[in-house]
Structure 1
Amino acid sequence: MLRRAGHGATPRVCRKCREPWERTGTLGDRNRGLLDWLDQPSTERGLYYADSADGWDFWSYRDLAALVLRTAAALRAQGVGQGDVVALVLRSSPGFVAGFFGALAAGATPCSIPPPFAFQRADEYEKHASHLFATAAPRFTVCDDESLEQIRKVASGLGLQEPVAFDELVAGAEPLERPMPLPETALIQFTSGSSGFSRGVLISADALRTNLAGMGQWLGCAPQYPAVSWLPVHHDMGLVGFLLNVVVTGFDGWMMQPDDFIRSPLRYLRCISDQGAVMTAMPNFGLAYILRRVRPADLRELRFDSVRCVIIGAERVDRQVLEDFHALLGPHGLDRGALLPAYGSAEATLAVTGLAPGEGWSAQAPDAGDAASLAGAAVVGCGRPLEGRTVRILSEEGEELPDGRVGEIVVTGVSIASGYIGTTGSASGTSVDDGGLATGDAGFLRDGQLFVIGRLGDGLKVNGKMVFAESLEALLHHRGIPERRVAVLLGVRDGVPTGVAVFGGVRPGWREAAHEVLSEWLGDAELHMVELPRGGVSVTSSGKPRRRVIWKALCAGEFDATTRPLTAEAEADAPVAAD
């Protein structure tokens, strides 16, 4: 595999950004074309990739630009034409950057597909990847070495052209003299698949450009501000929210693999401190993972004064996790106002709302008299709409609701997807049409800020009030059950309101906690628990519980052998599963 640009064997001296934080410029100032960075790429700034020896491989933007144009020429030589789809099955790497922007420079549409590392079982991966490939129908597929054999199997089963390893593709290729015109669709982006199979979303070049511009204005992105990420580039938060934002803007990006972060979250924190990073991003579970793995004593020599933007999205944000994270890093300079909850979706290209840097997050509950609310449950605000976007809350009848009332979140404005590709295979409730994006998410507005509660289909009405699975999971996390080790299912089964706690490797005390929480909030609903081995809770490639998929399997009897009533006596009567 490619290792580094020739002149970049030794990273530059670590530095901190000492310039005052400014959020300047207009949307037009930041509205750069997706390939403008190829015109005069910097030799001083670029991307740093973590190696296995606690070091970094540096790729300047000049070297990346040359690789992009070589990749574009190689794709054209392989017969890739205007508007053709190029599937990318690559980890975060110079090859991924070259594959993505090289496809655009060749006039083609890139589509990032999760590599095998994102799945625990090979059969699950091949089933998922087969669906994605059948949906995208790529003209050409580029892989890294570790993905090649499994993707060959998938491609063969679908009658698609055999994939090619990135290094083999670009070997001996001369750079394309200039980029081809951009395709109408600049990205096929897959949804997480939490409600079933992932859906392919068509993102136009204009939608992608305006979403990056909106994020730039929201965050105050500028080339002098370095950033750090461990997010996978097959997920919209890691791809659009971080990588494309960094490259198009042209600031230094320090790139780790998800595996690097899981092995050593301290290495990630040390990078932020050493490089004076201003921006990073992660889901809520990333913050929670740092809290589990990092002790205050580990941070003795680290400083986080430079950080201005910790973007937190992709899943519901837990206020206690935010408090605990700031308690851990605050003594080392992290400003509470740097924690920026945000809301977005694949169908909105990515970002819809975000909290302004420095404002400071808050948690609020919907109106107490709202029949659709979970009484007394405060949720974290996700900021205000980015420029050019409008967020409304609609009732089941389609009427706009006032502040504090819970309904469906509907988004209109720039950067909404053009639509879907292929069959959806999903019951997500999300739709895109002339009226905008009906997200299928429940939330409320207050003073212009959006508060997100959960998925509309993952709830149960109890005594006239709606209880959401995500709210109950948050309560279980507060009781000590880690994320990804439990999923709550809510629905009506055989005509009976039902709540189910699905455990992945149950530990002492978890059954009791689940019974207390579910019985308190679900009233007379029938309660069950399903006990699976650790890792058995089905999640998407981005880590969200696939609640509706699990619910369908439960109703089909697939978990009958491991399902039993969830009662106050369940803890004493049951063995502890192997961890």
Structure 2
Amino acid sequence: MFYSVMKSIKDRAEVDQFWSMNITSGARGPEDKIIFNDLYSLACDTAEMFKSFKVLPHDRIVTLLPTGRALIQSILGSWASGAVVSVVSPSIDIGRSSLSLERLVEMLEIARPKVIIYSADDVSELKIVADEIGAVLLHVDQLPKIPTYMNTEAHTNCYDDPAIIQFTSGSTGLPKAVVIEHGQLVDNARTVASWTGFTADDCFVSWLPLHHDFGFVISFCMPLLCSAKLVLIPTESFGRNPLIWLKVMSEQKATFSGAPPSGISILTKSVFSQKAASYDLSSLQCLWLGSEPVSPILCDEFEKAYKKSGLKEGVLSAAYGMAETTLAVSVRPQNSYRNTAWISKEDLYKNGNITLLAPFSDGSIPFLSNGPSIPGVKVTVRDDFGNDINECKQGQIAVSSSMVTNAYFGSMDTPQKDGWFETGDLGFLKGNEVFITGRSKDVLIKNGVNMPAHLIEEAAFRSFPNNITRAVAFSVASEKDMRDRVILGIEIRGKIEGNIQTQLRSSIIEILDFPVDEVLILSKGSIPVTTSGKTQRTKAKSLFQSEDLGVQV
């Protein structure tokens, strides 16, 4: 029989009726202990409610809920009814990282769910959309609260039944609804666990949102499938106080966790590391970094900042993946070391060549390995004509695996061409390890040199680590001669001696040997990001061109 997430929960609950997970939202530690024997029954009760709304297998259910008991109950209740769940950010039009109402409407029109579960107070706009698509609006308070233990048989999901619809977080065009099957979900999570040594004896602490693939697959499904201890921190709690993550990892003796680089970048600031001196991070074996390009320098800085808290060298590890591949493509295996390749900046950015240099040598730039591809996944690098190229060149990353999605829901687009998915990422292979150098659409060109935008932003953070809170780089055509001008927008805090624009341009020249034409100081909250925290460079460029980016005069 196929061993789905629901079956894993049921079987473990039958062996240990007190097996549980924790959800913490404040400094007092775990505040909601969920007994999975109760949760399984609640999921089945919730499934019966869904069926009363005429939900059939493969129908869609959309959740607009924060991380908590109700969200987990809704996810499992969807699967218990045979439905497909789509976890969507509950933050609508309340900040730069929130989901716009327009984007939400697009998602709902694509998914066309039978049920929408929400917790917001004002749903007037949502009700209009729900009426148009024939969806039932269900408030979180209407979900079953006390398990009946009467509905104990969940729908049997098969290997190739759709499990989730994961909306990509891109900033242009219509959102893509990635369909992931139950078998793909289980295979990816279990493969990563086996590859990295994650077992039932481990403890995973996570603040990642469940509407993001990283949070859903690795930080939620993997611990459940492995019967490991799981502690979830609502993302908004981390946003209010990032130290809660380190505090909970210390208290719970976490062995595994994950975050985007922007999450640990915040915590490298001395104002946080000094406050965390009493925390004990010695139990942490692996902290995965993903969703954004990972800097080896940032990893070193974070480990150095928390060495006094017992954090061991080499714990931070880059991982590469995306929604279309279920999640993980490559990650460092158990008992391996973090590898960095130092390559020639000039050869890479002018000719796309990979020329290895000695560490920290003049004219070199470091790239962190994402490890080898996990078992069951093949990775190749191709040129602009689709031909495979050798290790000496940068090219387009392509992936082949049974874990790659077969379809975008509501779209005729085909994710795989000839059995390969073109990721849109630039990178190279060294031995069997995957290195990512940037996104093809985010490469800026100046004087014949190609420079990934994220490296310019990273150089800005390195130049003023305690002052620059966000950065975005893009290029626009000059009205005078139509040549590209490289723009860097920054949000800052605190006082800076002298002219930061001049200092920053000089610093980036020194670090990257790449000129920035103009540095803009932006008001706090001006730089747009996705609901998962990724910088929306295309949107920032559009706002700049329409004079709506929030430039301080």
Q: Which bin holds the TM-score, normalised by the shorter protein?
A: 0.7 to 0.9
CA shift, 1:116, in A, is 1.3
Q: Say whether 1:541 aligns with 2:531.
A: yes
Find the counterpart in structure 2 of residue 250 from structure 1: 227
Contact 2:376 2:401 (8 Å CA) reproduced: yes
Contact 2:377 2:400 (8 Å CA) reproduced: yes
Which of 464, 467, 471 pairs up with 1:486?
Answer: 471
Deviations 1:416-442 (A, max 9, x none): 0112123699xxxx9533432111011
Which range moved further: 259-268 or 440-449? Answer: 259-268
Secondary structure of the equivalent of 1:391? strand
**1:115 aligned partner, one-letter code:** P
Find the counterpart in structure 2 of residue 63 from structure 1: 38
Contact 2:342 2:365 (8 Å CA) reproduced: yes
CA shift, 1:492, in A, is 4.9
CA shift, 1:280, in A, is 0.7
**2:63 aligned partner, one-letter code:** L
CA shift, 1:552, in A, is 3.7
Secondary structure of the equivalent of 1:103? helix
**2:473 aligned partner, one-letter code:** V
1: CA distance, partners of 2:548 / 2:61: 42
**Cα root mean square deviation, aligned:** 3.1
Deviations 1:456-506 (A, max 9, x none): 011134454421111111111111166762200036566412211123468
Contact 2:80 2:154 (8 Å CA) reproduced: yes
Secondary structure of the equivalent of 1:536? coil
**Unaligned 5+ residue runs, structure 2?**
355-362
Q: Say whether 1:376 aligns with 2:356.
A: no
Distance 1:353 1:147, change over 3 A: farther
2: CA distance, partners of 1:121 / 1:544: 11
Contact 1:71 1:173 (8 Å CA) reproduced: no
Contact 1:194 1:545 (8 Å CA) reproduced: no
2: CA distance, partners of 1:72 / 1:152: 23
Q: Say whether 1:116 aligns with 2:87.
A: no
2: CA distance, partners of 1:53 / 1:521: 40
CA shift, 1:530, in A, is 4.6
**Unaligned 5+ residue runs, structure 1?**
1-27, 564-575
Which of 474, 490, 494 pairs up with 1:503?
Answer: 490
Distance 1:108 1:474, change over 3 A: same
Secondary structure of the equivalent of 1:452? strand
Find the counterpart in structure 1 of residue 165 from structure 2: 188
Contact 2:92 2:101 (8 Å CA) reproduced: no
The alignment of Structure 1 onto Structure 2 pairs a total of residues equal to 529
Q: State the TM-score, normalizing by the size of structure 1.
A: 0.83
**2:229 aligned partner, one-letter code:** D
2: CA distance, partners of 1:451 / 1:329: 26
Which range moved further: 539-548 or 197-206? Answer: 197-206
Q: Say whether 1:395 aligns with 2:379.
A: no
Q: How does 1:70-149 map to 2 (within 5 A)?
A: 70-116=45-91, 119-120=94-95, 125-143=100-118, 145-146=119-120, 149=123
Q: How does 1:309-320 map to 2 (within 5 A)?
A: 309-320=286-297
Secondary structure of the equivalent of 2:215? helix
CA shift, 1:293, in A, is 6.1
Find the counterpart in structure 2 of residue 456 from structure 1: 440
2: CA distance, partners of 1:133 / 1:214: 32
CA shift, 1:322, in A, is 0.8
Contact 1:316 1:452 (8 Å CA) reproduced: yes
Q: Say whether 1:473 aligns with 2:448.
A: no
Secondary structure of the equivalent of 1:381? strand
Find the counterpart in structure 1 of residue 359 from structure 2: none
Contact 1:265 1:294 (8 Å CA) reproduced: no
Which of 332, 337, 341 pairs up with 2:318?
Answer: 341
Distance 1:524 1:333, change over 3 A: closer
Q: How does 1:255-274 map to 2 (within 5 A)?
A: 255-274=232-251
Distance 1:477 1:37, change over 3 A: same
Find the counterpart in structure 1 of residue 185 from structure 2: 208
Contact 1:279 1:308 (8 Å CA) reproduced: yes
**2:137 aligned partner, one-letter code:** P
CA shift, 1:152, in A, is 3.1
Distance 1:252 1:159, change over 3 A: same
Which of 404, 415, 420 pairs up with 1:436?
Answer: 420
Contact 1:469 1:490 (8 Å CA) reproduced: no
Find the counterpart in structure 2 of residue 410 from structure 1: 398
Q: Say whether 1:166 aligns with 2:162.
A: no
Secondary structure of the equivalent of 1:181? coil
Distance 1:465 1:53, change over 3 A: closer
2: CA distance, partners of 1:235 / 1:221: 21
**2:389 aligned partner, one-letter code:** L
Indicate the percent of aligned positions where both proteins have the same amino acid: 22
Q: Say whether 1:234 aligns with 2:198.
A: no
1: CA distance, partners of 2:526 / 2:353: 31
2: CA distance, partners of 1:68 / 1:561: 45
Which range moved further: 482-491 or 178-187? Answer: 482-491
**1:490 aligned partner, one-letter code:** S
**1:533 aligned partner, one-letter code:** S
Secondary structure of the equivalent of 2:364? coil
Q: Say whether 1:305 aligns with 2:282.
A: yes
2: CA distance, partners of 1:209 / 1:158: 35
CA shift, 1:158, in A, is 4.5
Q: How does 1:324-335 map to 2 (within 5 A)?
A: 324-335=301-312
Secondary structure of the equivalent of 1:382? strand
